[in-house]
Structure 1
Amino acid sequence: MASFTRAEIGRQLKKNTDMMVAAAVLGIVLLIIIPLPPLALDLFLTISIAVALLIMLITMFTTEPLQFSVFPSLLLVTTLYRLSLNISSTRLILGEAQAGKIINAFGQFVVGGNYVVGAIVFIIITVIQFVVITSGSGRVSEVGARFTLDAMPGKQMSIDAEFNSGLIGEEEARDRRRKLQREADFFGAMDGASKFVRGDAIAGIVICVINIIGGITIGVLQKGMGMAESLQTYTILTIGDGLVSQIPAVLISTASGILVTRATTDASFGTDLTRQFLNFPKILFIVAGILLIIGFIPAMPGIVFFILAGCAGFLGYSLLKEQKQKVIQSREEEAKKQVQEQREPENVLQLLETDPLQIEIGYNLITMADDKSGGDLLQRLTVVRRQAASELGIYVRPIRIRDNLQLPPNRYVFKIRGEEIDGGELMPSHLLALNPTGQDVVISGIPTTEPTFGLPAWWITQDMREQAEIDGLTVVDCSTVLVTHLTEFIKKYSHELLGRQDVKELLDVVKETNSAVVEELVPDLMTVGEVQKVLQSLLKENVNIKDIISILEALGDGARINKDPDFLIEHVRAALARSICRSLLNAENKLQVITLHPKLEKLMADSVQPTQLGPYPVLEPQLARRVLEKIADVVEKAAGRGYAPVLLCSPRLRLPLKRFLARQMPSTAVLSLNEIIPEIEIEAVGTVVMDES
């Protein structure tokens, strides 16, 4: 029962540590006001020394500054604590001519019967802390804060580059950014906190002067002491008080200097010191030789130098022998490892892994992905992934960029799961000039075709840019060309990039905030694979799936009626009618449509038959070709007049008609009457009519 009670007490203390710390800080402030008896002052001075020792030892065992990130605030609290004790001890020294055993013992030990020597020792300790330790650590903190802030953009870009290349995950990238911000905050706080210690040293000198002058005055005028007795009494107490305060201050100042001057490492200060200090055993032989030579000088204490020379030589010999044994041991381990690797079967499972999306580049394009060479491609890939999430509603996994020496030097290719899908060629030292208006322009560049939209373009040099822009051309750099191509590539093949695992992770994210929507649908009504098929079908027709809540709710309602995939796709599209229509509006907020002649629509609807790919219009080959030509002709004429029309048909025919046009006219949007919302203004710009023959 007793052990249980102690455990409960321990848990309660851990739970309320914030309240205890707040109470302790308020207690420090009360020490300034409340007079302390000598015994209590001894207790609090002992705590001050113990805390200073603890802080110094912690800094020696940390491996990086952020492991003790509370140090700047702790420095303020300990400084306030020491000043509070100074005030309490001053009250006792001046009021009662005594301040407890610790202060008296420190004063007697240091003074040693001569208070002039004691005063000089105290002044030297204070000057060492003020001029050397505190000033140096403050300067290091200031420079560290400046360099950390200056290096933040480069470090953040490095984190983004590693994240985009797939070397680290999203969680690790977030942790690194958070750590980088904390590091900048820490050095900035240390820069200001070092001023506390400087002020503490000045306050200690002022308090000592006040104690001595005030003590002599009180002793002579009020207590009837002689001048010599008063000077000795109050000087000893004042020096003891100053030492009791300055020794913890020196320890904490030293800890501050150790913390801010240490580089991030994987070992403590002591381990690093011994490992690096004794890392060059040959130097110890040189030191031993010099000490031995100095020992033979007649005026020197030869025995001391001979002993140190012998110790240095023996230590160097031992370390050199140990290094040779380590080299031999490492070679043996390397040989054993090679033999073991030859015996073990090759792990081919890693060779089976493929990236969802990958970019391969020729060797002339490597500088575009190299931060040190000024390339910004890796950073711009982050923007592409964010744009995909915003415009399509899908999470594109980190895009890997690999150099491929088998490619032409200026070529790049996009691969989906290891298969080459698209690509283009760039000229890294040139700019691409586009002619979006189609006007006749004479330009002395290298003719080419823009890889994204197939527009005529020219590669021009940097000095030709100004003239090209004056002529009305759009000039972009190589990274912009590749990123634009990649953006359109992701839009076109987003349905292939959306894997089953991606859908599972998407559902998990939705479940955190809308658990009812997911739990009602998966796995009772639909599987993850069935949800994936619906989302892929929407993406294939350039429908944004960012409103995943509405999609899942529509699937939950539709799956109770009919689980046919085609029915669910049309049911979801009806739920997304507003966003689908608005994405197809022109600049005047009108929906420009092309309709089918009633006879043609009836012909197409009557020809729909079930197939392995779903309902599909089954027409005679010649008739199917004529229908495609008529639709393409009307769409082309409308586009020539500056329209961007969509094909409007009955709900029953929409999905079969889209499949019918998918191969020849994949970019043509097909809407059903059910997907037209009332507030949309429709403008008919053409009708597909078949010849009577």
Structure 2
Amino acid sequence: MGFRELSVLLGVILIVIMLIIPLPTFILDVLIMANISLALLVILVAMNTKEPLEFSIFPTLLLLVTLFRLGLNVSTTRSILSNAEAGNVIETFGSFVVQGSAFVGLVVFVILVVIQFVVIVKGAERVSEVGARFTLDAMPGKQMSIDADLNAGVISEQQAKARREKIEREADFYGSMDGASKFVKGDAIAGIVIVIINVIFGLVIGMTEHGMDIGTAANTFTLLTVGDGLVSQIPALLISTATGIVVTRAASEGNLGHDITKQLFAFPPMLFVASGAIFLLGVFTPINFFLTTCIAGAMAAIGFTIRQTVLQEAQAAVHETEEAQEEDLRSQDSVMQLLDVDPIEFEFGYNLIPLADAKQGGDLLDRVVMIRRQLALELGMVVPVIRIRDNIQLQPGEYVVRMRGSEIARGELYMDHYMAMGTGAEEPIDGIETTEPAFGLPALWIPEEEREIAEDAGYTVVDPPSVVSTHLTEVIKTHAHELLGREETKQLIEHLKETYPTLVEEVTPSTLTIGDVQKVLAKLLREGVSIRNMPTIFEALAEYGTMTKDMDIVTEYVRQALSRQISKQYADGEELLQVVTLSGSIEKKIADALQQTESGNYLAMDPNESQRVVQRIGAEAEQLMNLGKTPVILCSPAVRMHVRQLIERFFPQMPVLSYNELEPSIEVQSVGVVNNE
């Protein structure tokens, strides 16, 4: 245990000793001076903090200091009543400070208690209560503000985490201060009670045990009691003042002295006005003219000096800004920053600004937060921060989604309309014809007052924020494999390493590189397979990564390891999976067209033949879609990835599964066969 921890423990033990064991007057003198020094140190630290959390230990320290002071009161009371003495410090305060007059000392003590109890303690207690309540009430808003800044790209994940921790610490601090302020209030009451006890019982003990007459006993014990009261109340006043300073401090750039001088003298002309008022006070009233003139002159001089300083600082700031701008223009870094490209950008026209403006009721930023959380659960990857901004070059109601600077999606919204969709609606309604951007379904933009009519007619009615958030979600899902680079893959691996260190060490970097792992994960995402089950993926990589360096083949093994997940995904919770299969002749034709090279296998089928295969697959899939079912292609493991490559350009969303990717519990029903005929 270090010296710091040991010193605090010894201090607590000392408090217990003072409450039980009588202490010599010399030790009492040392402890009293230590109490005054500690109180002075606390108030100086409180004045030099920039924000309350810099002195977060203050509530606990307040309790310890209060107990220490009360322990001293018990020890000094015991010494005064037992021996009619309390050491040099208390006698000095009783004789020198109040000039030996018990009545004067008593009046000074009462004034100190009133100032502390009625003014400072009462105010600090109220500020603590209000601060605690307002801090707790403001927590949800602050959390939303952090999420909004994070989604807008203003802050990083680490900065957001630090700000959230700060909010929690502020709530804990103000809650503690609300209770700790009661210590100071109780200390002031205890000081009054102790003085009354010392005076009354001092008179009785002085006359009965020490043989003093009433005048001598009153003078002796009253002076000692007042001295003891002043010795304890002065540190108590400093501590209560420190309490008020801490709870009334707001976050700033400097300490209390810096802020007071900066803000009090922020308007030099006001000093001239105050100077003139003081001067006129000396002219038209009997107040000493020389005194008022000196004070007025001093205030005018201070105002003039501050005004000159402000002008010089303003000129220097302008000069520094110009130099900094010139330096930026010459700096290579300023040019390099222009090369940065955001992973995802969402730009919109000026009519759509209310979507992102919380003051106008927009909740786009909150929706983006939910989109990132939803995709983290569905895809198993952390989608980068989406940069949201307006673009006056777009049409007023238009929006564009860009990925690494390139446009990947575009749409248009009517802010005062709703989108109505429903091919099976009972009766048609009038509206602006459009296409639902996420899935390409025919739709109508209808006025807000016709919403209920459309719903009654069987249409699905969606508001503009839901339209754009759904479109953004589907766009990110489609292009998720493009967002997963080596850096993002490394972060996923580091996260997995926290719980599966041995598994990660077996796979990378000895067996596979981060680039190899990234290729496998990207191929899974490209076909809509979630990579959230990283332990299973890495188990497959550890087992098959040493067998081949062809990441296409390794991906097939990983897919087979994820068979339960893939089966459930396309069976949609049912035990029956309806598929379109490939005939044996088609599979043989594809297998015969494979060419093996050093970099792996690739499909070298005759263009006309491949086109016929794609057309037959499309025809079978269309029949299945007409029945309202999602087409799934089922083939042998040997040709699965090549069939996927063959149809990907024409049917990018159509899943292709192999027999090894199906769980035995899933019943497969073939509803179509692709053959040569």
Mapped contact 1:595–1:687 kept (Cα < 8 A): yes
Aligned partner of 2:162: which letter? D
Unaligned runs of 5+ in 2: none
Mapped contact 2:36–2:234 kept (Cα < 8 A): yes
CA deviation digits over 1:658-678, x for unaligned, max 9?
A: 111111222221111222232
Q: Is 1:404 equivalent to 2:376 in the alignment?
A: no
Deviates more, 1:197-206 or 1:545-554: 545-554
| Shift in alpha-carbon separation, 1:501–1:252, aligned structure 2, 3 A | same
Q: Is 1:294 equivalent to 2:289 in the alignment?
A: no
Structure 2 residue aligned with 1:655, among 630, 638, 641?
Answer: 641
Aligned partner of 1:70: which letter? I
What is the distance in 2 between the residues matched to 1:510 and 1:23?
Answer: 46
Structure 2 residue aligned with 1:150, among 120, 137, 155?
Answer: 137
Structure 2 residue aligned with 1:546, among 532, 545, 562?
Answer: 532
Alignment of 1:93-108 (within 5 A): 93-108=80-95
CA deviation digits over 1:144-176, x for unaligned, max 9?
A: 222222222221111111111111110110000
Q: Is 1:606 equivalent to 2:589 in the alignment?
A: no
What is the distance in 2 between the residues matched to 1:326 and 1:286?
Answer: 23
Q: 1:458 maps to which residue?
A: 444
Mapped contact 1:431–1:476 kept (Cα < 8 A): yes
Q: 1:531 maps to which residue?
A: 517
Mapped contact 1:559–1:568 kept (Cα < 8 A): yes
Query: Identity of aligned pairs, percent?
Result: 49
What is the distance in 2 between the residues matched to 1:22 and 1:380?
Answer: 52
Q: 1:414 maps to which residue?
A: 401
| Shift in alpha-carbon separation, 1:600–1:452, aligned structure 2, 3 A | same
CA deviation digits over 1:204-223, x for unaligned, max 9?
A: 11111111111112222333
Q: 2:201 maps to which residue?
A: 214
CA deviation digits over 1:555-593, x for unaligned, max 9?
A: 232232111122212121122222122211134232222
**TM-score for the superposition, normalised by structure 2:** 0.94
What is the distance in 1 between the residues matched to 2:189 and 2:404?
Answer: 69
Q: Is 1:579 equivalent to 2:574 in the alignment?
A: no
Q: 1:78 maps to which residue?
A: 65
What is the distance in 2 between the residues matched to 1:470 and 1:206?
Answer: 78
What is the distance in 2 between the residues matched to 1:661 and 1:622?
Answer: 14
Deviation, structure 1 residue 655: 0.9
Q: 2:268 maps to which residue?
A: 281
| Shift in alpha-carbon separation, 1:390–1:239, aligned structure 2, 3 A | same
Q: Is 1:310 equivalent to 2:297 in the alignment?
A: yes
Mapped contact 1:617–1:657 kept (Cα < 8 A): no
What is the distance in 1 between the residues matched to 2:631 and 2:139?
Answer: 49
Mapped contact 2:426–2:457 kept (Cα < 8 A): no
Mapped contact 2:399–2:412 kept (Cα < 8 A): yes
Q: 2:153 maps to which residue?
A: 166
| Shift in alpha-carbon separation, 1:461–1:654, aligned structure 2, 3 A | same
Q: Is 1:632 equivalent to 2:621 in the alignment?
A: no
Q: 2:483 maps to which residue?
A: 497
Mapped contact 1:586–1:644 kept (Cα < 8 A): no
Deviation, structure 1 residue 647: 1.6
What is the distance in 2 between the residues matched to 1:224 and 1:96?
Answer: 12
What is the distance in 2 between the residues matched to 1:614 and 1:658?
Answer: 16
Q: Is 1:33 equivalent to 2:20 in the alignment?
A: yes
What is the distance in 2 between the residues matched to 1:298 and 1:649?
Answer: 107
What is the distance in 1 between the residues matched to 2:654 and 2:482?
Answer: 19
What is the distance in 2 between the residues matched to 1:147 and 1:511?
Answer: 41
Deviates more, 1:374-383 or 1:313-322: 313-322
Aligned partner of 2:94: which letter? G
Deviation, structure 1 residue 339: 5.2
Q: Is 1:50 equivalent to 2:37 in the alignment?
A: yes
Alignment of 1:81-230 (within 5 A): 81-230=68-217
Mapped contact 2:420–2:454 kept (Cα < 8 A): yes
Deviation, structure 1 residue 615: 4.1
Secondary structure of the 2:399 match is strand
What is the distance in 2 between the residues matched to 1:475 and 1:40?
Answer: 83
Q: Is 1:13 equivalent to 2:2 in the alignment?
A: yes
Deviation, structure 1 residue 346: 8.4
Deviation, structure 1 residue 59: 0.6
Q: 2:312 maps to which residue?
A: 325
Deviation, structure 1 residue 652: 0.9
Alignment of 1:450-489 (within 5 A): 450-489=436-475
CA deviation digits over 1:74-125, x for unaligned, max 9?
A: 1111111111111122212222222222122112234323212211111111
Mapped contact 1:165–1:399 kept (Cα < 8 A): yes
Q: 2:410 maps to which residue?
A: 423
What is the distance in 1 between the residues matched to 2:37 and 2:601?
Answer: 83
Q: 1:8 maps to which residue?
A: none
What is the distance in 2 between the residues matched to 1:346 and 1:119?
Answer: 71
Deviation, structure 1 residue 508: 2.9
Q: Is 1:391 equivalent to 2:378 in the alignment?
A: yes
Aligned partner of 1:416: which letter? M
Secondary structure of the 2:571 match is coil
Aligned partner of 1:400: which letter? R
Secondary structure of the 1:651 match is coil
| Shift in alpha-carbon separation, 1:643–1:132, aligned structure 2, 3 A | same
Aligned partner of 1:456: which letter? P
| Shift in alpha-carbon separation, 1:350–1:46, aligned structure 2, 3 A | same
Secondary structure of the 1:584 match is helix
Deviation, structure 1 residue 297: 4.4
Q: Is 1:373 equivalent to 2:368 in the alignment?
A: no
What is the distance in 2 between the residues matched to 1:104 and 1:468?
Answer: 92
Deviation, structure 1 residue 179: 0.3
What is the distance in 2 between the residues matched to 1:583 and 1:656?
Answer: 22
What is the distance in 2 between the residues matched to 1:335 and 1:386?
Answer: 44
Deviates more, 1:649-658 or 1:148-157: 148-157
Deviation, structure 1 residue 466: 4.1
CA deviation digits over 1:255-308, x for unaligned, max 9?
A: 111111122111111111222222222222222222222223463222222221
Deviation, structure 1 residue 471: 4.1
Report the aligned-residue RMSD.
2.3
Mapped contact 2:633–2:656 kept (Cα < 8 A): yes
Aligned partner of 1:355: which letter? D
Mapped contact 1:65–1:264 kept (Cα < 8 A): yes
Unaligned runs of 5+ in 1: 1-11
Aligned partner of 1:13: which letter? G
Deviates more, 1:368-377 or 1:588-597: 588-597
What is the distance in 2 between the residues matched to 1:346 and 1:570?
Answer: 45
Mapped contact 1:616–1:659 kept (Cα < 8 A): no
Q: Is 1:247 equivalent to 2:234 in the alignment?
A: yes
Mapped contact 2:48–2:257 kept (Cα < 8 A): yes
| Shift in alpha-carbon separation, 1:367–1:418, aligned structure 2, 3 A | same
Deviates more, 1:385-394 or 1:31-40: 31-40
Mapped contact 1:596–1:648 kept (Cα < 8 A): yes
Structure 1 residue aligned with 2:492, among 494, 506, 509?
Answer: 506
Q: Is 1:673 equivalent to 2:662 in the alignment?
A: no
**TM-score for the superposition, normalised by structure 1:** 0.92
What is the distance in 1 between the residues matched to 2:630 and 2:388?
Answer: 35
Number of aligned residues? 677
| Shift in alpha-carbon separation, 1:41–1:537, aligned structure 2, 3 A | same
What is the distance in 2 between the residues matched to 1:621 and 1:510?
Answer: 44
Secondary structure of the 2:671 match is strand
CA deviation digits over 1:488-510, x for unaligned, max 9?
A: 11111111111122122222333
